[in-house]
Amino acid sequence: MSEPVTFTTHGDIAVVTIDYPPVNALSLTVRQGIDDAVGRLNQDVALKAAVLICAGRTFIAGADITEFGKPPVDPITPDLMLTIARSQKPIIAALHGTVLGGGFETALACHYRIAHPGTRVGFPEVTLGLLPGAGGTQLLPRLAGIPVALDLITSGRQVKVRSELGRQLVDEVVDTESHDALLDAALNAGRRLIDSGAAIRRLADVVLEQDTQYASLFAQWRDRMAKKKRGQLAVQYGIDSIENAVQLPFDQAIIEERRLFQACRESSQSRAMRHAFFAERRCAKIEDVNESAQPRSVEQVAVIGAGLMGVGIAICFANAGIPVVLLELDQTKVDAGLDKIRSNYERQVSRGRMEEAELARRCDLVAGTTEYSALADVDLVVEAAFESLDVKTIIFTELDAVCKPDAILASNTSYLDIDQIAQVTRRPEQVVGMHFFSPAHIMKLLEVVRAADTSDEVLLTIVALGKRLQKIPVTVRVCYGFAGNRIYARYGAEAQNLLLEGATPDQVDSAFRDWGMAMGPLQVVDLTGLEIGYKARKHQPNLPDDPTYFALSTVFVEEGRIGQKSGAGFYRYEDGQRLVDDGAITLIRETAARLGIEQRKFSADEICRRLVSAIVDEGRAVLAEGIVQRASDIDVIWLNGYGFPRYRGGPMWYAEEEGL
């Protein structure tokens, strides 16, 4: 038997333990080990049942994603699932941690499922551009019905076994988190199954009833997903495969599931999404830090500024269970900030997403103050005040005076030079950027800005803290706008160039939305307000000496068209509706004529190529200057901060694949 899987016996029950860190993925050696174990169980007349359990932090978290680019090697996972399901002796899956993808399929192939209370199950394949390919689309409908299968397989969401839905997905939940208690309970379940003499329950044997409603149900889901998960092959194939569960005999539907899985696995979409998965893990690794440097613990923090960002950042800390004190200039602002935090949690309670007790616990973690002296003992301060170097200089001088010597001072600036900010303190090695994206408590991206003097220890601390806050931390170096906003500015400028050259705002936005972006570039600037960039450019160092550079923003702002909040920008807004506006188009034409730019027609394809090329070109510059460590970090930033379609892998991956 291969090493990651061990086989022991407890009387007449075998215990098959998988111990294959970090997440017990179904790699070849694990598959071989399980295959051998099921063979041994069925050959040994003294054995009557088996428990399949995992060591470490989780039950099997899925197939080994690193194997998907390589030719499959026997025993392949779908065959292994059939081997488990067809075992002549019952196999009890003892679950803990995150039971995902092929892990959940393993559990469904087993004949009884018992779980720790904190266990979560799900099919995240869709986030990798895949569908469950080892029986999941056939077994889940048989266990929990078609609507549940459609929900879980198209969303990829994880379900807590203790929830109402979760209780349908397992047979039993034990009441402690101890490994020994889980094993004991699984052995007891095995004993009961043996003693009852009942026939083995196999989900594959369940015959799904035909229902006249199914045709319209599947049509509705296809329609809904075509809008919600635009262009995503795996989602539609997942629905097709679930439909096969009611239309084809099990064996045939399994063959069809495998065919659909393979088509997805070989698609550019899945390659891109697998790249995104590993890029999001790689970005937290910093290549040139001293090996002896270790992250410090952060137990108390402060946030300066109770505006939109400050409040969002404070919520992030409270969500992670870290006490946070919010500092503002006067008590009215402090109270307004605390009220916003409470209302955020109240909304979650009213939507049934949070218990009242949890609301109270999180609100208790947040305090307010107007006194800098209240920050004397915190381990970290995140400044989220007004975006002005003068303001930040004053704040950092004050913080340096009151905070304990080893406190880390971070700025949430989106553009400003953190090196300059660090220099006003006596501890530049403890100064770092933490650039959150708005809304800070929702967006996953965190740019960790490594200033010239930031120590390795401080950098590692902030990256580790970012993960604790459930963010994706990407380390960047100092430049105007860092990696994300600097590239975004280039992209925004290119969108406006397209307008000057003859495309309309609606053409540009529709083309790029259809290509997969969450929002079009002009729609975004109308939403955030054109005056923000207009004011920022007044202080921007090294502004290009080019009269066309954001010329339209300048004209629009000076005409009072600052976007949605003024009722007009690149579009007109009436009753909450965004409308194409002739006034905007006339203004664009006049500006182009004044700048001597000839207008022409654009195809959607050319618009997309121009926009992507601008992003990629600036991305190359950012990489060449060492602002990011690796090209894939830019992908992570664009996927998680700017709505780049995940199934295109990020701009740098896309460029590599397309050969731009």
Residues in contact with ligand HSC by the rule CB under 6 A: 22-23, 25, 58, 61-66, 72, 76-78, 98, 100-102, 105, 124-125, 128, 130, 132-134, 136, 261, 278, 281
Report how far residue 486's alpha carbon sits from residue 52's, in angstroms, rounded to the nearest whole number.
Answer: 51
The DSSP string of 265-319 is HTSHHHHHHHHHHHHHHHTT--TTS-TT--PPP---EEEE--SHHHHHHHHHHHH
Q: Would you state the structure tokens that stand for residue 611, as one six-digit string?
A: 């926009």
Q: Which is nearer to ligand HSC, 76 or 365 (CB)?
A: 76
Report how far residue 259's alpha carbon sits from residue 269's, in angstroms, rounded to the nearest whole number.
Answer: 16
Q: Which is nearer to ligand HSC, 60 or 418 (CB)?
A: 60
Report how far residue 275's alpha carbon sits from residue 516's, in angstroms, rounded to the nearest whole number.
Answer: 17
Contact 273, 233 (CB under 8 A): no
Which of these, 78, 62, 64, 118, lies nearest to 95 by C-alpha position?
118
Q: Would you state the structure tokens that stand for residue 637, as one six-digit string?
A: 């930033």
- AA letter at 542: N
Which of these, 560, 508, 509, lies nearest to 534 by C-alpha position?
560
Rounded to a whole number of angstroms, the minimum distance from the CB of residue 224 to ligand HSC is 23
**Which region holds residue 219: left if phi is over 0, alpha if psi is between -120 and 50, else beta?**
alpha
CA 57, 59, 62 angle in degrees (round to 5)?
A: 110
CA 248, 251, 255 angle in degrees (round to 5)?
A: 90
Rounded to a whole number of angstroms, the minimum distance from the CB of residue 275 to ligand HSC is 12
Rounded to a whole number of angstroms, the minimum distance from the CB of residue 101 to ligand HSC is 3
The DSSP string of 223-235 is HHHHHHTTT-HHH
Q: Which is nearer to ligand HSC, 256 or 494 (CB)?
A: 256
Report how far residue 20's alpha carbon sits from residue 26's, in angstroms, rounded to the nearest whole number.
Answer: 9
Q: Would you state the structure tokens that stand for residue 290, as one six-digit string?
A: 């001293």
Report how far residue 416's alpha carbon sits from residue 184's, in angstroms, rounded to the nearest whole number.
Answer: 58
Rounded to a whole number of angstroms, the minimum distance from the CB of residue 106 to ligand HSC is 9
CA distances in angstroms from 589 to 551, 559, 594, 596, listed in the order given: 12, 15, 9, 10
Rounded to a whole number of angstroms, the minimum distance from the CB of residue 60 to ligand HSC is 8
Q: Would you state the structure tokens that stand for residue 222, as one six-digit string?
A: 């296809």
Q: Which is nearer to ligand HSC, 62 or 492 (CB)?
A: 62
Q: Which is nearer to ligand HSC, 120 or 572 (CB)?
A: 120
Grouping H, G, I as helix, E, B as strand and the rest as coil, residue 262 is helix
Rounded to a whole number of angstroms, the minimum distance from the CB of residue 379 to ligand HSC is 23
Rounded to a whole number of angstroms, the minimum distance from the CB of residue 146 to ligand HSC is 19
Rounded to a whole number of angstroms, the minimum distance from the CB of residue 607 to ligand HSC is 34
Rounded to a whole number of angstroms, the minimum distance from the CB of residue 278 to ligand HSC is 6
Q: Which is nearer to ligand HSC, 125 or 457 (CB)?
A: 125
Q: Would you state the structure tokens that stand for residue 212, as one six-digit string?
A: 């006249």
Q: Which is nearer to ligand HSC, 63 or 91 (CB)?
A: 63
